Amino acid sequence: MKRVFLCAIVMLLQYCAFAQAQKPFAIVIHGGAGTIRPGMISAADEAQYKQGLQKALDTGYAVLEKGSTALDAVQAAIVVLENDSMFNAGKGAVYAANGTIELDASIMDGSNLNAGAIAGVTTIKNPIMAARKVMEQSGHVMLARHGAEMFAEQQGCDIVPQSYFWTTKRRNAYEKQNETKGKKSHLGQPGNIDEKYGTVGAVALDKQGNLAAGTSTGGMTNKKFARIGDSPIIGAGTYADNNSCAVSCTGWGEYFIRLAMAKAIADRVELLNMPVDDAAKQMIHDRLQNMGATGGVIVLDKNGNISLQFNTDGMHRAWKKSTGESGVELYKQ
């Protein structure tokens, strides 16, 4: 009798280990949507974008593979992209109208709906890490500007001079915009909006079945008066809930805020039982499109289903699932 009981326990443990090993895990990242067409950039730049995405993807995936949390994977992937000057986040971020670089970021844990965000910071090397600290250590959800910087420093985040973020590519884009100033945009309304995208984001599902999402950006070139976009706003640029999905957005932030884009997708999945692909398509190709705005989203649900939607010419994106499915793409298929 004792032996039968022991056998049953061993079999149960083996089954549990098997079931755990079979649980899907996945990561999806983006590096911004916009006018991204074949032939528009050099082959060398194209290779660099792909390399950067691949590195971030592999870094995040390795975190999931060793059994760490979706939150850690999202953070790890975004840090790689923030440190890569090709993308509009951290080093390489775009210039605001006053010639400074002002960064926004947010992160959310789908297992408990905890979230953290920072906005309008100018000296934090990795904004996504500061957003995570806000979530875990501040008792608040969003901190802005100098206060956020003071808090990040107290928390041991790397603080750097503004010059750390500067790149010739972004400076040229900023100067080009200013040369044609006046002809271009109204207050707070971007001129050639597609030149301004390039935000980075990640969504992940870990072996424990938890979802997380994060987004980090320099915002839009020439943004004025401490403008804050959708990226640090929970429910607009970022959302994660184990009951629905994880979402990170990129695009014309003012419209993503008005649509509460990330939460609108999550609500469709949770309340209307829509597959993530249908929910993302409806929000991007109907709702956003009908408002005359552009951008894209990456979405991942607790079963590992993904959707990558954009109504621009391209979106830098990459995905990797425990099922073996993987890819890195820049353009429309």
Is residue 330 within 8 Å of 311, Cβ to Cβ? no
The region of 121-129, 181-189, 217-225, 310-318 touching ligand ASP under the rule CB under 6 A is 217-225
CB of 159 to ligand ASP, least distance (A): 22
- Which tokens in the block code for residue 170? 């972004």
Q: Which of 253, 284, 300, 307 binds ligand ASP (CB under 6 A)?
A: 253
- 177 in contact with ligand ASP (CB under 6 A): no
Binding to ligand ASP (CB under 6 A): which residues in 70-109? 88
- 220 in contact with ligand ASP (CB under 6 A): yes
The conformation of residue 62, written as its DSSP 8-state character, comes to H
Q: Which of 31, 32, 92, 314 binds ligand ASP (CB under 6 A)?
A: 32
For the chain, the residue count is: 333
The region of 46-54, 216-224, 273-281, 305-313 touching ligand ASP under the rule CB under 6 A is 216-224
- 235 in contact with ligand ASP (CB under 6 A): no
- 230 in contact with ligand ASP (CB under 6 A): yes
- 127 in contact with ligand ASP (CB under 6 A): no
- Which tokens in the block code for residue 62? 């390795």
Dist. CA 160–CA 143, nearest whole Å: 18
- Which tokens in the block code for residue 53? 């995405």
Dist. CA 59–CA 62, nearest whole Å: 5
Report the Cα 181 to chain-centroid distance in Å: 30
Active site annotation includes 199? yes
How many residues line the site for ligand ASP (CB under 6 A)?
14
CB of 217 to ligand ASP, least distance (A): 5
Dist. CA 247–CA 11, nearest whole Å: 38
Closer to ligand ASP by Cβ: residue 63 or 200: 200
Is residue 15 within 8 Å of 293, Cβ to Cβ? no
Dist. CA 216–CA 107, nearest whole Å: 9
The region of 4-12, 36-44, 225-233, 299-307 touching ligand ASP under the rule CB under 6 A is 225-233
Concatenated DSSP letters of 295-327: EEEEEEETTS-EEEEESSSEEEEEEEETTS-EE
Give the per-residue contact string, 178-207, with ligand ASP (x = CB under 6 A; - = no). -------------------xxx--------
- 310 in contact with ligand ASP (CB under 6 A): no
Is residue 130 within 8 Å of 105, Cβ to Cβ? yes
| Among 59, 69, 123, 199, the one annotated catalytic | 199
- 314 in contact with ligand ASP (CB under 6 A): no
CB of 254 to ligand ASP, least distance (A): 7
Dist. CA 45–CA 39, nearest whole Å: 11
CB-neighbour burial class of residue 13 (10 A; exposed 0-12, middle 13-18, buried 19+) = exposed
Residues annotated catalytic, as ranges? 199
Q: List contacts with ligand ASP (CB under 6 A).
A: 32, 88, 197-199, 217, 219-220, 229-231, 250-251, 253
